[in-house]
């Protein structure tokens, strides 16, 4: 029987910050067998072409697709690690899924080199244009988990996702603006000046942080040679600046937006997610998942979120008859 997570502790800002978006860290050789186990029916070996260079891409094709989804992972993670299970479910329902490894992460040569917020947002802008060109007759949706949600919201709010039909923000990293303690912000800035390359681990936190109730998944993730979760002081400040940018951009997001937050999320404060949601001009929907943790798509009850997101996208996608006609 898997160990149960400890009850939520009252976290200090520093403890939460050091474990932000973290689930474990590891290093080691990347083997084809390891990746094959993650891809779960995806077509691999493709790339998204951006002005700053190509990015590793995975695709889950759908028969008679009714919508196409471009998905962004969180800090230290990568496309198929976050989305393999969900993407297989969505593709079976008629949602074609693309998930690329963001610059500085995953299968890219830039792994473990922080690119900065502008590069991440620029990459999404190019990737959305690329995927839209591949499927000009299908409505395009963009999903972002954690840090990826911050990137997606910033891009949408800054008007850099033209033609996107909907935005899905999964436990988005939007702990910025007025929701962040000024002392914590000052501490992060000071650390970045004094020891910019010092890396931190969730193990340094004085309290336990659980990003999911799926303990076996977390153990497997800790052995993943492509995954890491120990941001340097410079990267941590960069994450704060990205969240600030998403917070600032939120009132400009006029794309139909679904925000999903788990009741047990110990990583991103609920108050900051709700505050960012309140800044969205709409149309918008907030889904509060009672069984959800931070890693919504990989929790023990992840199927609930898979269905929720799939239903939301398909309600805005092509009707089945139109999709079948398009496939013919």
- Per-domain boundaries in the chain: 18-323
Q: Are 68 and 140 in contact (CB under 8 A)?
A: yes
Q: What is the CA radius of gyration of the chain?
A: 18
Task: Pick 206 or 38 by higher pLDDT.
Answer: 38
- pLDDT tens digits for 240-269? 999 999 999 999 999 999 999 999 999 999
Does pLDDT of 99 surpass 90?
Answer: yes
DSSP string, 252-292: G--S-EEEEEETT-SSS-HHHHHHHHHH--SSEEEEEETT-
Return the pLDDT at 198.
Answer: 74
Return the pLDDT at 200.
Answer: 66
Does pLDDT of 315 surpass 50?
Answer: yes
Mean pLDDT over the full length of the chain: 85
| DSSP H helical ranges for the chain | 13-18, 32-39, 79-92, 117-134, 147-157, 182-194, 215-222, 233-249, 270-279, 302-314, 320-327
Does pLDDT of 233 surpass 80?
Answer: no
The DSSP output letter for 212 is -
The CA distances from residue 168 to 113, 201, 305, 308, 314, in Å, are 27, 29, 11, 11, 13
Is the full-model pTM beyond 0.75? yes
Confidence of residue 22 (pLDDT cuts 50, 70, 90): very low
- pLDDT tens digits for 116-173? 999 999 999 999 999 999 999 999 999 999 999 999 999 999 999 999 999 999 999 9
Return the pLDDT at 23.
Answer: 38
Return the pLDDT at 143.
Answer: 98
Distance CA 253, CA 246 (A): 10
Return the pLDDT at 177.
Answer: 62
What is the assigned CATH class of domain 18-323?
alpha beta
């Amino acid at each position: 029987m898997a160990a149960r997570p400890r009850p939520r502790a009252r976290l200090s800002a520093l403890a939460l910050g050091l474990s932000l978006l973290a689930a474990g860290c590891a290093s080691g050789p990347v083997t084809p067998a390891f990746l094959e186990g993650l891809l779960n029916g995806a077509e691999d070996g493709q790339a998204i072409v951006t002005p700053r260079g190509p990015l590793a891409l995975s695709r889950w094709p759908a028969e008679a697709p009714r919508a196409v989804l471009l998905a962004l992972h969180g800090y230290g993670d990568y496309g198929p690690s976050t989305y393999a299970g969900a993407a297989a479910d969505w593709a079976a329902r008629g949602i074609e899924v693309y998930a690329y490894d963001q610059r500085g992460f995953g299968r890219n040569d830039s792994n473990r080199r922080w690119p900065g917020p502008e590069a991440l947002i620029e990459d999404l802008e190019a990737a959305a244009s690329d995927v839209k060109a591949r499927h000009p007759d299908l409505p395009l949706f963009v999903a972002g988990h954690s840090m990826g949600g911050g990137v997606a919201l910033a891009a949408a709010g800054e008007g850099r996702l033209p033609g996107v039909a909907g935005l899905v923000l999964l436990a988005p990293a939007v702990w910025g603006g007025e929701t962040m303690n000024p002392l914590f912000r000052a501490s992060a800035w000071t650390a970045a000046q004094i020891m910019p390359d010092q890396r931190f681990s969730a193990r340094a936190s004085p309290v336990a942080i659980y990003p999911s109730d799926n303990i076996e998944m977390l153990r497997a993730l800790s052995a993943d040679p492509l995954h890491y979760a120990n941001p340097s002081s410079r990267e941590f400040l960069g994450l704060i600046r990205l969240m600030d940018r998403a917070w600032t951009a939120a009132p400009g997001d006029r794309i139909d937006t679904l925000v999903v937050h788990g009741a047990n999320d110990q990583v991103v404060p609920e108050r900051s997610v709700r505050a960012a949601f309140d800044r969205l001009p709409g149309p918008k929907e907030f889904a509060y998942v009672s069984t959800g943790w931070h890693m919504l798509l990989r929790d023990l009850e992840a199927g609930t979120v898979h269905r929720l997101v799939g239903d939301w996208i398909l309600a805005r996608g092509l009707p089945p008859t139109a999709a079948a006609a398009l496939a013919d």
